[in-house]
Chain A
Amino acid sequence: MRTALDFHDIQGLVLNGYRHLNHARFVLLQIADADATKRWLAHVANHIGSARRRRGEEELPGSQINLALTLSGLSKLGLPQETLEAFPREFQMGMDAPERSRRLGDVGECAPERWQFGAPTTPRIDLLLMLYARDAATLDQSTHQALSTAPSSNGVEEVFRQHSVRHDDKEPFGFRDGISQPAIEGSGQRPPGQAILKAGEFILGHVDEYGDLVSVPSVPRKLDPAGVLTPDLSHPTHSSFGRNGSYLVLRKLEQDVAGFQNFVARASRNADGSDNPERARLIAAKMVGRWPSGAPLTLAPEKDDPELGSNKHRNNNFGFAVTDRDGFACPIGSHIRRANPRDALVFPKSPARALNLSNRHRIIRRGRPYRDNAEQGILFIALNASIARQFEFIQQSWLNNPKFNGLYDEIDPLSSASTGNGMMTIQAKPLREHLPGLPRFVTMRGGAYFFMPSIRAIKFLAQLRQTPRLNQISRVIIDQG
């Protein structure tokens, strides 16, 4: 069954990373007055960027606004209990729940108790406002328009704010980022060499890669007298609240750039103790799976190939099974191979079946770099239809799994929360090499699970009459902007 996507109803971030908009601001809000928030939502809903099919980036507007809510936010806006309970367990629990932390590896230095936001000890998050613009002035103007000068008049209070400026396509460690993205059926995307995945992998209410039409949260039709939402075909008395929505994972990941550079310099030294910059570049690339230009090691095993790295028809058009099953070019435990093993899994052995399995665990990445004085890193954003099956699975079963794909005792060399004595195997002939003493390069600084509703669902929330009483909660406003 081919998917017909309602581009006007899907928020733009699902299909567009706004790569032409280099300035971004992410504002975490808490709802203090639900009625005022609804009036504000009614206003904001008209400015939410939709996923209308793009006809060339120059035609896109100079700024974009997208919005997502936590379970707490949905509850405060009056979504009935039966609807809230229909959301998946992991979304209901939240990223900071101990069970989720265990699966995600958010322990020790990365534990929620140490987070800047989203932790049990920090102010509760209800809403995420994502603003993108061509330049700083436009972003300020857009932020001002969205929030007005007095945020409290909108019924929301600011909990956290993160500013992001992207100068190029590289993440702080110096590697071109965001190259590999899944293509969505019906979106018009045709990336070379990549499978086009069912829309239900990323957009609720559509058939997924299992051929399932997974049920989505719905609301009694009586709560939607104006018929803002579309009917829920599986529940005749209900309207579909979840359709065309997506789950959004937000994680602020601090990157220890100096630590990374020092490690590869140390690990690459010659026997006489002298530096070996060429080998340092190779070791860094082996850890990532790509060269700084973005050229994949599988296609450029010896040295960087900037032309390949920047060629979008070639830089993601590869598998591992045929040319590099044993990991002699791109190590089995490298970051990109763990995050997306493509067609090379120990089982199923068949490349086609392995690719099919890998494609059931993909995410759309919309991360942005940040820098707060000395701290820098990525505000990681992932979109998927099942946080447990997609984002959490990648994190738990692939990135953080010491046994990934037949390996023994090593986790992702780049992003996993190593205890400081990690190890990586670099497959080679005749004998593998071990990189011992891997420290932690990435530290989790805060995060939350959100539901990014369709534009119809935002309008529905704005007109929803049933509003629970809110507790008056004192809040601390942290402005990192």
Chain B
Amino acid sequence: MTQNTCTIITRIKPENLDPLEALLASIGSDPGAEQYLRLRDIASLHMAGIAVAARDSRFPPILIFESNFDGPADDYFRELVAHARAGLDAIYSKCEGYPSGASRTDAAIIAYLKAHNAPAAAVFVGLPGQTVGSVKNAIAVRKEINRFLDAELAAGATRKMSARQIRDRIMQHLQGASPISPEIPPVTFSAFRWVALRNTIVIALIGIVLLPVLLPMVLIWLLMVRYREIREENASAKPDPPTDERTYAVEDRSVQFHLATIGVIKENPVRRYTIRAVLALVGVMWRHILVRGGFGGIYTLHFAHAVIIDEGRRILLLTCYDGSALEYLGNFTDIAGAYINAAYGSVEHYPACKWLLAGGASGLQGFMGWSRQHLQYTPVFYSAYPGETMLNLMKDLELRDHLYSARSESEAERLLQLL
């Protein structure tokens, strides 16, 4: 099943900003268990985050509610309203345009949410095709195997066993006394290796066919971008608001978290068209090539998507990641700066880029400072599997999905090394 994303962006009534932030902070203390949103009851929801962007006086205060879920958006909206109606009422009654009185029906609320759902310009899914149920099953299978093997080891039952014999013991257990059974999906995560290869070849072939037409255009475009980069080196844009200290307080509290970053797009046609073109290209890459868990070599990103907001004046990047915020942001400098430069090189105050991809995030101090300053306060983050990293999940899926096929000694050895 395909994962989808939605980003509901609504204007906050200015007089309700403080009460709304207080309400969100309360929900954020345990978004799964609290009685407002009851996100844990939505079986298709992987991760969700609610951020407030209200510190830039050039723009009205907005509420950003991001969700990553299985299946069509219409189904998710119905589930959301069915389970989270009390929370939606409490939150969105503090925003503009939310239905009130007798007109506040489930259908009207769904219509409101859909009307404010901003389309994503690019979407990255770390584990494509894996439903919440599939992910949770893989986690449970791994835990059960570990529990079983620890007991076997303590009893000396696996002593002098080969890898294949141990694997056979595991299979016997899973097919017998185990309370958990592997539920292998029709399309496994491993199968996306071939999807990525196929898509890469197809896209490369299309690129080769179009090269004679595209190459001159791309070169001219790059020269125009470089010209802007040089011109803008000493340009002074209006300063962005200072770092929101609350962003430090909410991060690094659990294995996973959510970042919402907003940048103001430079007021120049070259920049405006560049960012849209880049996001279109990036969108193709994220959706069709980066389908093996890695994001440009970074394996901590579960979901990401970029949205152009405010009539094209700002870009919003939403990411669900694992690890510390410092490590996560640092990874872009250390490993995948070009990916982030392509999107943010056309944004005000971003560290200077060269030829769009170089520079920028490659300098830690400048990139970290810019990122920090542009992070939005995210009081609510929910995950259906909050204690797991992307690397954990990739191993869990590989373990579960190869239990049946790992029949040789070397295959069984590789399987056991995942534990």
- Chain A residues within 8 Å of B, Cβ to Cβ: 99, 102-103, 210-212, 214-215, 271, 326, 346-348, 353, 356-357, 360, 388-389, 392-393, 396-397, 401-403, 406, 408-409, 427, 429-434, 436
Contacts and interface: CB of A to CB of B under 8 A. Distances in A.
Contact of A397 (B156, B294, B327, B387): B327
Contacts of A409: 387
Contacts of A210: 333, 362-365
Given A403-B389, A433-B153, A99 B419 contact: no
B150 A389 contact: no
A357 B364 CA distance: 12
The 5 closest A-B CB pairs, nearest first, are A430-B163, A397-B327, A403-B389, A406-B391, A210-B364
Contact of B252 (A103, A212, A214, A408): A103
A356 B297 CA distance: 15
29 contacts: A102-B252, A102-B253, A210-B333, A210-B362, A212-B364, A212-B365, A215-B365, A271-B156, A347-B335, A348-B334, A348-B335, A353-B335, A357-B334, A360-B330, A388-B326, A389-B330, A396-B252, A397-B323, A401-B324, A402-B255, A403-B389, A406-B395, A408-B392, A409-B387, A430-B161, A431-B149, A431-B158, A431-B163, A434-B146
Given A212-B363, A212-B365, A403-B389, A347 B297 contact: yes
A389 B297 contact: no
B255 A403 contact: yes
Contacts of B158: 431
A397 B166 contact: no
A390 B301 CA distance: 23
B247 to A, nearest CB: 11
A347 B326 contact: no
Which residue among B299, B335, B365 has the maximum number of chain A CB atoms within 10 Å of its CB? B365
A214 B365 contact: yes
Q: Which of A396, A397, A408, A433 has the most CB of B within 10 A?
A: A408
Given A212-B363, A430-B166, A431-B166, 7 more contacts: A210-B333, A357-B334, A396-B252, A408-B392, A430-B162, A432-B416, A434-B146
A402 B255 CA distance: 9
Interface in B135-177: 146, 149-150, 153, 156, 158, 161-163, 166
A215 B149 CA distance: 54
A348 B413 CA distance: 24
Contact of B324 (A347, A360, A396, A433): A396
B4 to A, nearest CB: 27
B417 interface: yes
Interface string B280-299: 00000000000000100111
Grouping DSSP codes into helix (H, G, I), strand (E, B) and loop, the A interface class, with mixed when no group exceeds half, is loop
Given A99-B248, A99-B249, A389-B330, A429 B413 contact: yes
Contact of B150 (A102, A393, A434): A434
Nearest to B362: A210
Contacts of A408: 392
Chain B: number of interface residues, binned into ranges: 35 or more
B51 interface: no
Interface string B301-333: 000000000000000000000111011001001
A326 B417 contact: yes
Interface string B332-349: 011100000000000000
B412 interface: yes
Nearest to B143: A408
B364 A406 contact: no
A326 B395 CA distance: 14
A102 B249 CA distance: 10
A443 B297 CA distance: 37
Contacts of B327: 393, 396-397
A346 B395 CA distance: 12
Contacts of A348: 297, 334-335
Contacts of B153: 431, 433-434
A422 to B, nearest CB: 15
Nearest to A403: B389
Contacts of B412: 430
